[in-house]
Amino acid sequence: MEANLDAIDRMLNLNVNVVIKNVRTVMPHMIERGRGDIIVTSSVAGQAAAPWEPVYSPSKWAMHCFVQAMRRQLLKNGIRVGSVSPGPVSSALLKDWPEENLRKAKEAGALIEPRDVAEAVLFMLTGPRNVTIRDVVILPSSFDI
């Protein structure tokens, strides 16, 4: 009810349209080379609906469908497509969290570090070419979802 209509458009444009357009832009180059990797950054909110994120969560669900469709479409061209879905990452993206919630999450070990996400992406990219790691979900051990 409280969502700003322009903010809804901005979020959907960034999380859905921009990703699809970026993939569309690089596809011809990768197809020409006969290989490539596309890793889409999603979110754990796209794995389990977050009721406090009624726009963000479905935008990330959309990316899972997109990744699965593109993986099937591009596989024959030697292009692997996957997504990484982190839980809360200790980063600037949490700047809108209330200070008390952020403090409690840090104390409870309910945040992961950007390096954890980077290591998962490297794992996805460095596997043998005949293996596609399509979906990686990265959660802090104490995160309950």
Q: Would you name the residues annotated as active-site residues? A: 56
Closest CA to 68 of 38, 32, 45, 88: 38
Side by side, the strands of the sheet bearing 36-41 are 36-41, 79-86, 135-138
Pairing mode, strands 135-138 and 79-86: parallel
- Using DSSP's 3-state secondary structure scheme, residue 80 falls into strand
Q: Say which residue the tokens 């996805």 belong to.
A: 124
* Most distant CA pair in the chain, distance: 51
Measured in whole angstroms, the distance separating CA 99 from the mean position of its chain's CA atoms is 24
> Considering just the CA atoms, what is the radius of gyration of the chain in Å?
16
